[in-house]
Structure 1
C-alpha cells in the first residue's frame, strides 16, 4: 500500500484548544482580558491592548516563549484585519504589529521628515524576556532562539528599512500598450530582443532606471493588483538591511541615518521592519538589489513574490531592473523509514507578464536561513524539474488563464527527496527561478503555498523472533556444528515482520522464509522459500507462523533465514529487507523423526499457567494438578 505525505511551507491547519482543527486565520480580535490576538495561529500570540509598553507582544510555542516590550506607554490599538496599529508611539511614528500564522511583523511607520528627526529613532530598543529559550544573534545579522537541546524554536531575519520614493515615481500606465498587444507579441520577437540563457545567471543588474510621475501604475495589469507599501519595498524605494542587535534582555535596531535625514517629503513614510516567527518551516525571497524577505507573505493582493527580471518590457513596467528568486526549504520530518516512490513540488503561479508560456526552473540549492542574502545566496546544486507555463492573467488571455498551481516532478526531484528521507542531508531547499533572467517578459509571481507531495511505502526492516516452533517455544541454533534437531518434517516457521522506524503506519507486510539444504559437496542450495501469507497482508510487528510447504528430508542439514517484504501498487510490487542473517545469523537444523517430540504440558487445578504479568500461587509439594 502506498501513501502520500504533503509538506507545506506555510501552515494549512491549526489545532484549537478543544483539539479541533481549523484553517489559519491571523485576523485580530480583542480578548476578554483586553489583550489582542489572532483567531487561529500555530503559535500562542498576544499583542498589548494598550497601557504599559513592557507587554507589547508575547509569542509562545510548547511552553517556550519570547516577550518584547516598547520603551514607553502604548495607546489602545486600532485593529485592521491582522494588524494592530498603535498610533504616535513617538510623535509622527506609528507602531504596526501584524500577526501571521507562525509569528508577527513589527513595523515602525515614520510619517514625516520631522518625525524622523526624533532622537528615539537613532536606536530603537525593545526589552526582551525569554522562558525556556536561549537568545543569540546570527552571523547574518538576525536572531535565533533555541531550546535546551539547541534546537531552533524562533528566528528573526535582519530588520529591513525602506522609504516611499518609488510610490510617486512609477511610470504612467496609460502610456503602456494594451494587454492584448503584449499578449500577442511572439516568442521569436522576445528571443531576438533579449536572447535566452541556459540557466540562472550568477549575477543580475540592480541599477534603477528613471521613471515619470504617476501613482496609478501599481494597478497596471502587467504587475498584478495594488501593492501594499507596508509589505516591503517596491521598485524605486530606497532600502537598507539593519542587523539586529541581540542581548539577553534586549533587541535593538539602528535605523539608516541617511534615510532618516532625507528632507524630501516624497520619501515618506519610512518603514522599519523587524519580525519574529517559528524556525520550523522556511521560505525566503531574495532580490538582486539586496532586499530579502524571510518567511514572506502573499501581500494584500494575495499574489506573493516575483521570479525573474523585474524591469520594463513592451511598454509595461515591473521594477527598476532587479532579479528575484524565491526559496522553499523542507525537512525530513514524516519521511523517516520510508522509500520515496515519486515526488512533486507544487506552487501557485498568480501572475505572469504575458499570456505566452515561459520557462521556470525548480533548482536545488544549499540551505537557507533567516540571514540569507542575495550576496550570500545559496549555491546551485542542480535542476530538479522545469515547466513552460503561463498563469494568472485571467481574462486578459484567450482562453482565460486564472491563477493555477504549477507542478514540478521528475526523477531528479524524486531522487533528491529520497536522499532526504534516507538522511543523506538534513534539509532540502528548492528555488524557483526564471530560466532566462535577462528576459523581463518571463517575469512571474508565485504564492507562498508551496507543497512537496511525496508518494512512499514503508521501508521493510529485518524480522525478529525468527526460528522454528518447538513445543511452546521458538528455537534457532546459529552454530552450524550444533544444529537443532526436530522431529517434524514440516516444521512451523516463524518470525515477526517489521518496517524501519517511522514507516510502520498502514504498512502492508509479508514474511519471506528462505530455507537452504546442504549438498554432499558442502555447498548450499535453495530447498524452499515460501512467502506468507499468500493473500492479504499484515501490519507492523505481526508474528507470522506457517508450516514448511514441503516435507524436509531426514538427516540433511538445513538452515533458515527470513526477510520482511513491504508491498505497494496494490500488491504488485514490493521492497524486501535484509535477512535475519545480518542480525542473528542462520538458523541451523536437521530433521530426525525418531527424535523425542516436544512434551505436551497439561496444567490442572489448583495450578495455573504463569503469564508475563501474573503467576498465581497454588498447590504444593505432592499435590497433583
Structure 2
C-alpha cells in the first residue's frame, strides 16, 4: 500500500503531523476509460474570508488581545477576533447598542429633558419622546415624515423623572401615569391607587388620540395595534391588559407598574376609529397623509371596582418597535410580541387565578450575520445560549427545553412556530421561595450543531424556543426575562484551511495524466490557511486513496478502502507525498487497480482547534504493470492486417530492420504512420486495423502491443509473404 515521507517542497516551517482525519465516505465518479487523458485538478484561489476578518485576526495576534471586527457590529451582535485565531460572536435577542456617528454606544434608557421640552432616553434604538407636561402630545413615535403622536384629553403635569421612568402624578384624582423607556420603545401604565380613583368615569373608557403622519394604524382581531410607515419605523402594541396587586407566588414576583409578576392578567377590549385624513386622498393612509384616529380601551368593570380587587391597580397600553425578537403564545389564546411589560412565560399555568392562560411557550431569535457575509464556511467549536429565569412555580429545580424552530411573524399564535427539535434540556429554579434569578445556559452538542448548520447555510438568524418538557405539569411553569441583554448567545468559530488545489501526480510517474508508470508515485497539493493570524501557521495535507480491481471499469465506493496519509505543508504552501517505502500505517506500494486520490487540508495550529477542509474532488488514475500478451497478426491481404492483444491500448509496428516506435509519456493517441513504422490505437477489445503503406510481399512486419501505461508486450512478426498467418517470436532469418 502506501506510506508517508517528510516533504521537501514545503514553504516555511513544517509542523508535526496532524491527528487522524475524519474518514466519511465520498462520492466517486467512474474510473477513466483506457487511454483517455486526465488533467490534474485545479481549484480557484480562495477569497472566502473578508479582509476585515483577516485584519482583526492579525491585530489580535500582534497585540495579544481581542479585536472587534467593527464592520460586523450591529445593534444585536458583535464579532471579536481572538489572539488564538478564533472568532467570538456575542449576540443578543434584542438591541443592546446603537450607532452614534462612526461608533457604537450601549443602550441607555435614562431619561433626560431636551431643549424642546420633550423627554427622551439618552440612547435607545428608536425615536421615542415623552411629554414634558402641558397640553401637547403624551408620546411622539418616529421622526421626520413618519411620526405618530399619542395624546390624552387632559393637561399633563410636569413629570417626575427617575432613571428610565417619568411619572405624571394625579392626572385624575388618585391616578398616576407612568411612562418607562425601554431599548425598543416604552411601557405606559396607569396606576390606580384606590377604589375611589377606579370609579372615575374617565377610566370606564380610556380614549387616546393617535395622529399619524406617513404611518398607518391598524388593529388585529386580538386587539393588538400596529403602526407601519414606508421608510419609517414600525411599532406594535400588544393587546392592552390590566392587573391588580393580588400576588400569586406560583405565577411570579409581586406585581409592579412595569411587570404584572404573579398577578392575574385581565385583557381589555379595543376599538380604533378614524375621524379624518388630510394631505392625501382618503384612500391613502401612508405617505404625506395625516390621519387622526381614536383608540378606545374599555377595562372590564369588575376588574376596576369589583370585589376582591387589590389596589393599586395597573392598566397597560404600550407601543414597542416591531422586531419579532420575542414572542409568547398561550393555548388560552393570549399572545404578545416584543411587549416590554411581559416576561417570557413557559409551561402550564393550571391554577384558577391564571385566568385561562393555559400552556405558554416563548420564542426568540439571535442574529448571526457574521456567517452571512463570507463565502468560507465557519467551523463552530463551541456555542452557549443563555437566558435568565426570574421565576418558577416549584421550589426545586425543574426542566426546560431549548428548541430550534422555524421563523415566526409578530402575529404568530398558538401553538407557535414549528419545532425543528430539542437542542438541550436544563434544570433550574428561580424567584419562588427566595431563590435569586438564575442564568440558564444551554450548551449541548446539539446547540453547537444548530449554529454550525446556520454557518453552513450562511444564515443570519437562528430561531429558538423555550418549552416545558411536560406541558401538563404545573411545576414546570417558569418566567424568563425579556431584557435583551439577558437573552444571549456566545459562539466560538474559526475557518478551516481552503480545500486543496493543484492535486497532481508527478509528471515523471504518469502517462497521459492517467496511467501510472510506477507503484511509488509522488502526489502534491496546495492549500491556504483561511484563518490567518499573521503567523506562518502550518497546514497539513492528508492524501486518501481509493482502489478497485482492474476488471471493473466503474469503481464502487463500497469496495474501496480509504487510507488517510498525513503530510505537512505550511500556510499557502505545497505538500508532497510518495509511496516509496513501507511503514505500519501504509504497508506497501500501490498494486494494480483503478485508483482515486483525494486531498484534505488541516490547520496544525497548536493554540486553536485543528480544522479540516473539505476533501477535493477525486483525481482518477490506474496502475497496471502487467505486459499484454504478444499480439496476434492476421493478414487480410494487400498490406492490411488485424492486430489483437487483450488489454492493449495500442500497437507499435515496424518493417524489416526498423525498431518499433516508443510512445512518449504525454502521447495519448496512437495513430501515426510512416513508410517504415508507426502507432495504431486499439479498441476496447484490444483490436486494431493496420494498413501498411507501400506494402511489399517480402516485407517483415514486427508488432508490439502496449497498455495505457505504455508497458510493452513481447514482439510478434509475420513471414515475408502476403498470406494470412500469425507468428509469435518466429525464429526466422530476417533483416534484424
TM-score when normalising by structure 1: 0.59
Moved more, 344-353 or 425-434: 425-434
Contact map agreement 2:393 2:476 (CA 8 A) in 1: yes
Contact map agreement 1:71 1:127 (CA 8 A) in 2: no
CA deviation string 1:512-534 (max 9, x = no partner): 49799xxxx999999x985421x
**Aligned twin of 2:121:** 38
**Is 1:510 paired with 2:539?**
yes
Task: Please report how far the alpha carbon of residue 452 of structure 1 lies from its aligned counterpart in structure 2 after TM superposition.
Answer: 2.4
CA deviation string 1:85-118 (max 9, x = no partner): 4567799986543210122234566864443478
Distance 1:445 1:505 in 2: 47
**Is 1:532 paired with 2:569?**
yes
- SS of the counterpart of 1:405? strand
Task: Please report how far the alpha carbon of residue 446 of structure 1 lies from its aligned counterpart in structure 2 after TM superposition.
Answer: 2.3
**Is 1:273 paired with 2:301?**
no
CA deviation string 1:3-49 (max 9, x = no partner): 44232224445556684644x33221223443212233344543333
Distance 2:298 2:141 in 1: 30
Task: Please report how far the alpha carbon of residue 576 of structure 1 lies from its aligned counterpart in structure 2 after TM superposition.
Answer: 0.6
Q: 317, 334, 339: which is aligned to 2:370?
A: 334
Higher relative contact order (Cα pairs below 8 Å, separated by 6+ residues): 2
**Aligned twin of 1:453:** 490
* Residues 258/515 of structure 1: CA separation in 2 closer, same or farther (3 Å cut): closer
Distance 1:506 1:244 in 2: 65
- SS of the counterpart of 2:320? strand
Contact map agreement 2:255 2:263 (CA 8 A) in 1: no
Distance 2:494 2:150 in 1: 49
- Map 1:388-467 onto structure 2 (within 5 A): 388-393=427-432, 396=434, 401-423=435-457, 427-448=461-482, 449-462=486-499
- Map 1:157-172 onto structure 2 (within 5 A): 157-164=236-243, 166-167=244-245, 170=246
Contact map agreement 2:326 2:337 (CA 8 A) in 1: yes
**Aligned twin of 2:267:** 239
CA deviation string 1:471-514 (max 9, x = no partner): xxxxxxxxx799xxxxxxx9998665547xxx999997737497
Task: Please report how far the alpha carbon of residue 403 of structure 1 lies from its aligned counterpart in structure 2 after TM superposition.
Answer: 2.6
Task: Please report how far the alpha carbon of residue 275 of structure 1 lies from its aligned counterpart in structure 2 after TM superposition.
Answer: 1.0
Q: CA RMSD in A?
A: 5.5
* Residues 495/66 of structure 1: CA separation in 2 closer, same or farther (3 Å cut): farther
**Aligned twin of 2:211:** 127
**Aligned twin of 2:705:** none
- SS of the counterpart of 1:335? helix
- SS of the counterpart of 2:416? coil
**Aligned twin of 1:283:** 326
- Map 1:513-592 onto structure 2 (within 5 A): 531-533=568-570, 544-545=572-573, 565-566=602-603, 570=607, 573-577=610-614, 579=616
**Is 1:259 paired with 2:300?**
yes
Q: 372, 376, 379: which is aligned to 2:418?
A: 379
**Aligned twin of 1:203:** none
- Map 1:17-166 onto structure 2 (within 5 A): 19=103, 21-22=105-106, 24-51=107-134, 53=136, 56-59=139-142, 66-70=147-151, 75=156, 76-86=158-168, 96-107=178-189, 112-116=198-202, 121=207, 124-130=208-214, 142-143=225-226, 145=228, 154-164=233-243, 166=244
Distance 1:369 1:429 in 2: 11
Contact map agreement 1:507 1:566 (CA 8 A) in 2: no
* Residues 443/32 of structure 1: CA separation in 2 closer, same or farther (3 Å cut): same
**Aligned twin of 1:7:** 91
* Residues 347/505 of structure 1: CA separation in 2 closer, same or farther (3 Å cut): farther
Distance 1:507 1:453 in 2: 28
Distance 2:575 2:304 in 1: 91
**Aligned twin of 1:597:** none
CA deviation string 1:591-611 (max 9, x = no partner): 99xxxxxxxxxxxxxxxxxxx
| Number of residue equivalences | 478
* Residues 491/312 of structure 1: CA separation in 2 closer, same or farther (3 Å cut): closer
- Map 1:163-242 onto structure 2 (within 5 A): 163-164=242-243, 166-167=244-245, 170=246, 218=247, 222-223=250-251, 225-232=253-260, 235-240=263-268, 242=270
Distance 1:155 1:506 in 2: 47
Distance 1:551 1:258 in 2: 85
Distance 1:245 1:496 in 2: 65
CA deviation string 1:159-210 (max 9, x = no partner): 422344x54xx4xxxxxxxxxxxxxxxxxxxxxxxxxxxxxxxxxxxxxxxx
**Aligned twin of 1:620:** none
- SS of the counterpart of 1:29? strand
Contact map agreement 2:111 2:122 (CA 8 A) in 1: yes
* Residues 42/113 of structure 1: CA separation in 2 closer, same or farther (3 Å cut): same
* Residues 459/88 of structure 1: CA separation in 2 closer, same or farther (3 Å cut): farther
Contact map agreement 1:308 1:323 (CA 8 A) in 2: yes
Contact map agreement 2:218 2:227 (CA 8 A) in 1: yes
- SS of the counterpart of 2:449? helix
Task: Please report how far the alpha carbon of residue 278 of structure 1 lies from its aligned counterpart in structure 2 after TM superposition.
Answer: 5.2
Contact map agreement 1:340 1:418 (CA 8 A) in 2: yes
Distance 1:571 1:80 in 2: 48
Distance 1:492 1:424 in 2: 31
Contact map agreement 1:457 1:566 (CA 8 A) in 2: no
Contact map agreement 1:113 1:260 (CA 8 A) in 2: no
Contact map agreement 2:266 2:303 (CA 8 A) in 1: no
Contact map agreement 1:222 1:352 (CA 8 A) in 2: yes
Distance 1:137 1:459 in 2: 50
Task: Please report how far the alpha carbon of residue 239 of structure 1 lies from its aligned counterpart in structure 2 after TM superposition.
Answer: 0.7
* Residues 494/460 of structure 1: CA separation in 2 closer, same or farther (3 Å cut): closer
Distance 1:402 1:270 in 2: 25
**Is 1:358 paired with 2:398?**
yes
* Residues 494/457 of structure 1: CA separation in 2 closer, same or farther (3 Å cut): closer
Distance 1:252 1:77 in 2: 26
Contact map agreement 2:268 2:299 (CA 8 A) in 1: no
Task: Please report how far the alpha carbon of residue 391 of structure 1 lies from its aligned counterpart in structure 2 after TM superposition.
Answer: 3.6
> Where does the alignment leave 5 or more consecutive residues of structure 1 unmatched?
171-217, 469-479, 483-489, 539-543, 553-558, 593-625
Task: Please report how far the alpha carbon of residue 329 of structure 1 lies from its aligned counterpart in structure 2 after TM superposition.
Answer: 1.8
* Residues 108/462 of structure 1: CA separation in 2 closer, same or farther (3 Å cut): farther
Distance 1:290 1:523 in 2: 61
Distance 2:535 2:142 in 1: 37
**Aligned twin of 2:388:** 348
**Is 1:369 paired with 2:455?**
no
